[in-house]
Amino acid sequence: MSHEKQFYINGQWVEPKGDRTVDVINPATEEVVATIALGNEEDVNIAVAAARKAFDTYSQTSREERIALLERILEIYQRRSEEFAQAISLEMGAPAKLSKYAQAPSGTGHFAAALKALKEFEFEERIGNTLVVKEPVGVCGLITPWNWPINQLACKIAPALATGCTMVLKPSEVAPLSALLLAEVLDEAGVPAGVFNLVNGDGPTVGSTMSAHPDIDMMSFTGSTGAGRQVMKNGAETIKRVALELGGKSANILLDDANFEKTVAHGVMSCMNNSGQSCNAPTRLLVPNSRMDEVAAIAKAVAAKVKAGAPDAPDTTIGPVVSKAQWSKIQDLIAKGIEEGANLVVGGTGRPEGLDKGYYVQPTIFSHVTTDMTIAREEIFGPVLSIIGYENEEDAIRIANDTRYGLSGYVSSAELDRARNVARQIRTGMVHLNGAPLDNNAPFGGYKESGNGREWGHYGFEDFLEVKSIFGYYAEK
């Protein structure tokens, strides 16, 4: 890759206007693997101007033209999939298998889902004599995180392109390499100049400039709840649309008739996957009080099989967390759990045995966690599971909803109707029944402080569209 110190603006790789840079650190080795340029307000203004100019023509392209564009992007992306996998492992420490079989393919999944939705989406509707038209919202500011870098890039860029919007992207400065690769793919696919623009930078400079910019019509942000709150505040001055996908503290309810050996194992591995760095991870395992010790024993045995190690090692289950700052935050929260009296089943503070370098966290499980403990309430964003007891089904639902977050939830029961009934009472944007996987064609997003709006599939189009009523359109001439 040769564009680390450049931005992609108006169809060209250009030099930044400032001279600030930041090192990209491989979290497995703590070594510098790249140095990227950091943009400033002038860079953002140039990118926004390019996107504004391009919107006049790109917003008028036909469905067929945008279908052809997405098809070209998919073909080139798939050809370079191995490069994406390598970049993701390098920038955020994902194990090679996870990068190859989950992280990198997530881009393919979202571009394919957007393509499918575009072919079927109804952009016009007749209501009496009125024509209701869904039109592109305009210039979009996109800010993406480091934990599933390509996943979040694709589920914003694909619907923006599909609906006729133009955009300015600020990927995470912590894990920017896969975003630069994607810019190369979009360039090769022939995305018209100015439709897609990339400016690397930090949140306080580039992110704040974007979210407050009068010529950006909507912001789509994925990241922490605190940062999302700031994006919304910045956007309020210009009354721009703000779509947010934020943090989570998802409950995983095991009803008393579930297969505990199977469901506890699935819950532990789902929590540990990606080193716990998933906003929808099932980090609160809710089980009957009478079976707490049984569940803790099963969870401990499963955690023993979770191997933290180098991303390229064949027996690695989880890699490091993304940065020293994240590692330190997780260590503090694990220590807080011990201090507040939770039972440490396995793991704890410090690196796993045998690892003296890299931001590795011990797979950690607490049992007998109470709902007032910090580890039951705060998003830890590491491989840390809290097991919480409940008295009955109603109590489990109450505990699941006793959180400021509302992103996802999980329910397991031998009786599907029973699981369905519980799912309907959980105040979250998503619920998984009996281990059901995500679906790229179904909406992804949350309630409460987990955000607003929805991504993925045809639901992901809505935030990128304005609705216009043309009254009398069908009136007799």
137-167 per-residue burial string, b: 16 or more CB within 10 A, e: under 16? bbbbbbbbbbbbbbbbbbbbbbbbbbbbbbb
Interatomic CA distance for residues 156 and 293, integer angstroms = 43
DSSP 32: E
Token pair 């694909």 in the structure block, residue:
158
Interatomic CA distance for residues 115 and 69, integer angstroms = 9
Partner residues linked to 309 by β-bridges: none
| Residues 6+ positions from 357 with CB-CB distance below 8 Å | 29, 30
Interatomic CA distance for residues 397 and 390, integer angstroms = 9
Interatomic CA distance for residues 198 and 168, integer angstroms = 6
What stretches of 59-190 show up as alpha helix (H) in DSSP? 63-79, 81-92, 96-98, 104-120, 149-163, 177-189
Annotation marks residue 245 as catalytic: yes
Could you tell me how far CA 281 lies from the centroid of its own chain? Answer: 11
DSSP H/E element including 324: helix 324-339
The pair of structure tokens assigned to 407 is 């992103």
Strand, coil or helix: what is 388?
A: strand
Strand, coil or helix: what is 71?
A: helix
| Residues 6+ positions from 298 with CB-CB distance below 8 Å | 260, 261, 264, 265
User: Pairing between strand 218-222 and 139-143?
Assistant: parallel
Interatomic CA distance for residues 446 and 430, integer angstroms = 7
Token pair 């100015």 in the structure block, residue:
194
Among 82, 120, 173, 245, the active-site one is 245
Strand, coil or helix: what is 383?
A: coil
The Cβ of residue 47 has, within 10 Å, a number of other Cβ atoms equal to 31
Evaluate the CA torsion angle 93, 94, 95, 97 in order and state its sign: negative
Active site residues per annotation: 245
